[in-house]
Amino acid sequence: MSLPQASDLDVAGKRVLVRCDLNVPMEDGPGGSKTVTDDGRIRASVPLLRDLADRGARVIVMAHLGRPKGAPDPALSLRPVVHRLHELIGLERYSVHGAEDVTGPDAKELVERTGPGDIGVLENIRFDPRETSKDDAERGAFADELAALADLYVDDAFGAVHRKHASVYDVAQRLPHAAGPLVASEVAVLERLTESPARPYAVVLGGSKVSDKLKVIEALLPKVDTLLVGGGMCFTFLAAQGYDVGSSLLEADQLDTCRAFLETGKVVLPVDVVAADRFAADAAHDVVDATAIPSDRMGLDIGPRSVELFARALEGAQTVFWNGPMGVFEMEPYAAGTRGVAEAVAALSSGGGGALTVVGGGDSAAAVRALGIDEERFTHISTGGGASLEYLEGKVLPGLAVLEAG
């Protein structure tokens, strides 16, 4: 995929509209205020914004926060995010201001005030219901207003490229455009997973449901050498082999699909699981054979022998994609499986290992952070959960297709 790059745009003195992913978790602060609890996405957006400002662009940022119901909602204002962005980018060196509306009088005034080297941020783009409208004409009218604010468009929000939204899709049709570095690097890595990957190629899947990951399994299974399955979805596979899985997660309507996947001979399943008597951190729990789960127990993690088995199956892999925790890692008694597999994957690319290791999925990335594993040990941790999975499924992502088109 050859995407035009932001670094090739001549931006000096131009108004550059940048779509960023600034959708960060927030909590209530003092006096009804809100504070950012994890500024990872804001940090990731800084390099492009700083580069554009340094090259004399008049930078106008658009981003969404949460899911406002198509109307302004003070609780989802980008104001605290603008404040944090200003701190991260440099309070003294750069001027960063937020608008009180999206394309209204205040936004227009902000754009006028934003000079070369300055950064202006529009209010939460989803305060306008036309942003996410299914009606092309409605989105188009909104995109006209956005495009009128700028000369050029840059998309650096990989997490939104699978959405046909005005700020992602329609506006790119109306302005000369390019991909920002986050979008470009994400696409480059995903291409390495889909186009002639280095072998052996292993995929590790977990998480809660088979049905969520069905299309990814279908798309990747023909390309991989090994598919390791843990997490809640492994129980539907075990049941497909005829084993009783107790009260573990089970998707009865996926049994035939799982049987077909098993017939490829590429699927490796856990041999033991941590079985608990309730879905709770303080539940009674034991390690049992995966083929002998007591009928009143639910599997909430893969067991230690499975971690060893998975680690052995990964040995020598040159390409690894991991999506979905191996267990309910949010509760400490069921975190060891995810920790062990994360370590095994990370070891392939760190400390002299030369494999390509990619972590995808919001909860998987959160697990890496929560379990205290150094993120640098993986080649890449994908920022856009849904978007990366859709890319791997082979879908056309509207936000990328529109950038690729001249």
Q: Which residues are catalytic?
A: 41, 209, 362, 386
| Alpha-carbon gap, residue 170 to 229, rounded angstroms | 39
DSSP H/E element including 358: strand 356-360
From 25-33, 190-198, 231-239, 357-365, give the range in contact with Mg ion by CB under 5 A: 357-365
Q: How far is the CB of 322 from ligand ADP (least distance, A)?
A: 9
| Alpha-carbon gap, residue 312 to 348, rounded angstroms | 12
For 64-132, give the DSSP string.
--S---SS--GGG-SHHHHHHHHHHH-TTT--EEE-SSSSSHHHHHHHHH--TT-EEE-S-GGGSGGGG
Tokens representing 249 are 């997660």
> Considering only residues 299, 303, 384, 398, which one is a binding residue for ligand ADP as defined by CB under 6 A?
299
Helices (H) and strands (E) in the chain, counts: 14, 17
Q: Does 176 bind Mg ion (CB under 5 A)?
A: no
> Considering only residues 174, 385, 401, 404, which one is a binding residue for ligand ADP as defined by CB under 6 A?
385
**Residue carrying structure tokens 């950038």:** 403
Q: How far is the CB of 382 from ligand ADP (least distance, A)?
A: 10
Q: Cis peptide leading into 72, omega within 30 of 0? A: no
> Considering only residues 62, 63, 107, 300, which one is a binding residue for ligand ADP as defined by CB under 6 A?
300
Burial 88-106, CB ≥16 within 10 A → b, else e: bbeeeebbbebbebbbeee
Q: How far is the CB of 307 from ligand ADP (least distance, A)?
A: 14
Burial 199-229, CB ≥16 within 10 A → b, else e: ebbbbbbbbbebebbbebbebbeebbebbbb
With residues binned 3-state (H G I as helix, E B as strand, rest as coil), the percentages for the chain, rounded to 5, are 45, 15, 40
> Considering only residues 106, 138, 212, 218, which one is a binding residue for ligand ADP as defined by CB under 6 A?
212
Q: Which does 299 bind (CB under 5 to 8 A by kind): ligand ADP, Mg ion, none?
A: ligand ADP
Q: Look up residue 3 and give its DSSP letter.
A: P
Q: Does 390 bind Mg ion (CB under 5 A)?
A: no
Size of the site for ligand ADP (CB under 6 A): 20
Q: Does 122 bind ligand ADP (CB under 6 A)?
A: no
Contacts with ligand ADP, 246-285, as mask; x by CB under 6 A: ---x------------------------------------
From 57-65, 259-267, 355-363, 386-394, give the range in contact with Mg ion by CB under 5 A: 355-363
From 130-138, 148-156, 169-177, 356-364, give the range in contact with Mg ion by CB under 5 A: 356-364
Q: Does 208 bind ligand ADP (CB under 6 A)?
A: yes
Backbone angle region of 246, left / alpha / beta, with phi > 0 → left and psi within -120 to 50 → alpha: left
The CB-nearest residue to Mg ion is: 363
Q: What are the phi and psi torsion angles at 164 (to 5°)?
A: -90, 70
> Considering only residues 77, 254, 364, 379, which one is a binding residue for ligand ADP as defined by CB under 6 A?
364
Q: Does 362 bind Mg ion (CB under 5 A)?
A: yes
From 16-24, 238-246, 289-297, 361-369, give the range in contact with ligand ADP by CB under 6 A: 361-369
**Residue carrying structure tokens 């009260």:** 247
How many CB atoms are located within 10 Å of the residue 75 CB? 11
Q: Does 363 bind Mg ion (CB under 5 A)?
A: yes
Q: Which does 300 bind (CB under 5 to 8 A by kind): Mg ion, ligand ADP, none?
A: ligand ADP
Residue 69 vs residues 120, 127, 132, 181: alpha-carbon distances, Å: 24, 7, 10, 31
From 14-22, 29-37, 205-213, 263-271, give the range in contact with ligand ADP by CB under 6 A: 205-213
Task: Return residues touching ligand ADP (CB under 6 A).
Answer: 206-208, 212, 231-232, 249, 299-300, 323-325, 327-328, 330, 361-364, 385
